[in-house]
Amino acid sequence: MNNPSRGFDIFSPEFLRRQQDFENFWLFMMKGGLDKAARDSIGRASAAFISQKVGPSLFADGRIPLDERDRPTVKNLQKKGYAPVPNIFSDAEIEEIGAYVQTIPAAVSGGVPESHALLKDVPPAAGFAHFHGAAVCGCPPIYRALHDERLISLASAYLGAPATIGITTAWWSYPAPGGAEGMQMFHHDRGDFRSCNLFVYLSDVAAGTGPHSFVEHTHDMEVLLPLMSQRLGSNPEMFHKFWRWMEQHRKTDDEVRLFFPENEVLSFTGPKGKSFFEDTRGLHKGTRPQTGPRFVFEIFYSVLPKFNEVAKPQRRADLRLPAGLETDSSKLSPLVRYATRQYLV
Ligand SMILES: O=C(O)CCC(=O)C(=O)O
Ligand SMILES: [Fe+2]
């Protein structure tokens, strides 16, 4: 039967020729239809395609500009899947962000019915209060971080293509009863075939307050395959079991321990301000807070825009921002204007 409402009018000559059908196919491949080797290969191909398409319009010599100081960061990210960077926000900016989010509604979830509420009204049993990018990009320090050309260049150098900022978000995670679920279990992100994230802690994060955890070397087949071949190659049964397991979207801590020694399962604690890049195609989780809440900020840099979301960019000129922040889109560097286009025009 035709079901045009689902976008699958299979008897139409236009079936699979319309952008929507094609996007559905693309998402199917991204969200579990392909194994990691194929996903990573498509990621490399998409970076080559985008570089070829947009590189010449963004850079005079076609090359992504990279600050010398960021070369080791890109190398670490390639080798291990994560890399610390100097603090993105000052303490004063973190205060400013904390005050700003008290004035906008949060999406409340985790153990309570989903709702929107101001922070002061978030029910005590809630697991999360998320602030969407569209609401936080007008917060001056966040606007500045989004437009930080050095960060965009770093992400682009890692991706091998000019980056697109797909998600910007800040959220509180709260200690809540019950076991880990969702992103509090180890998982790999499936937001794009090639991506990296900047995380910034906006509250002090200790073992009890939900540290972000990452299994190093799990981000990219070019790193993971040689490692696991060396480790499990002599045991074909375990080797196959490992790759089948990798395809499971979510994994328990015990399962992770079966395949990775403790020293490779990293847990990032540190004072507020701590900032790091990570390729969340690798296994990671936000440990469920036990003793206190955690506040964190994230920018997701990818090669392609998120096809499962409609971009509703705001006009920079409409934001009320302090002098010193460029709001004339035509005056931005082409790389920055390109990277931020899903949020701001
Ligand atoms: O809360 C965290 O540290 C993990 C978040 C996460 O899984 C993600 O941003 O993809
Ligand atoms: Fe994730």
342, exposed or middle or buried, with CB in 10 Å at 0-12, 13-18, 19+?
Answer: buried
Most informative mutation of 205, 212, 265 for ligand 1 (most atoms within 8 A of CB):
212
Query: Which H or E run contains 223?
Result: helix 221-232
Alpha-carbon gap, residue 84 to 278, rounded angstroms: 9
pLDDT in tens, 138-195: 999 999 999 999 999 999 999 999 999 999 999 999 998 777 778 999 999 999 999 9
Q: Residue 213: which pLDDT band, with cuts at 50, 70 and 90? A: very high
Atom of ligand 1 nearest to the CA of 285: 4
Is the pLDDT score of 1 beyond 90?
no
Cβ atoms of residues 126 and 176 within 8 Å: yes
Neighbours of 57 (CB within 10 A): 11
Q: Cβ(286) to ligand 1 under 6 A?
A: yes
CA of 186 to the centre of ligand 1 (A): 9
Q: Around ion ligand 2, which residues have CB less than 5 A away?
A: 183, 189, 280
Cβ contacts of 293 within 8 Å, gap of 6 or more: 172, 173, 174, 175, 203, 209, 210
Q: How far apart are the first and last CA of the chain?
A: 41
C-alpha dist (Å) from residue 70 to 58, 88, 182: 20, 14, 33
CA of 211 to the centre of ligand 1 (A): 10
Read off the pLDDT of each residue in 58-75 and give the average, rounded to a whole number: 91
How confident is the model at residue 8, as a pLDDT? Answer: 67
How confident is the model at residue 123, as a pLDDT? Answer: 94
- Taking Cα atoms as reference points, which of 148, 147, 119, 146 lies closest to residue 131? 119
172: amino acid identity, one letter: W
Average pLDDT, the chain: 94
For domain 10-339, give the CATH number. 2.60.120.620
Is the pLDDT score of 269 beyond 90?
yes
Beta bridge partners of 107: 116, 130
Q: Cβ(289) to ligand 1 under 6 A?
A: no
CA angle 147, 153, 159 (to 5 degrees): 120
Alpha-carbon gap, residue 23 to 315, rounded angstroms: 26
How confident is the model at residue 201, as a pLDDT? Answer: 98
Q: Residue 6: which pLDDT band, with cuts at 50, 70 and 90? A: low
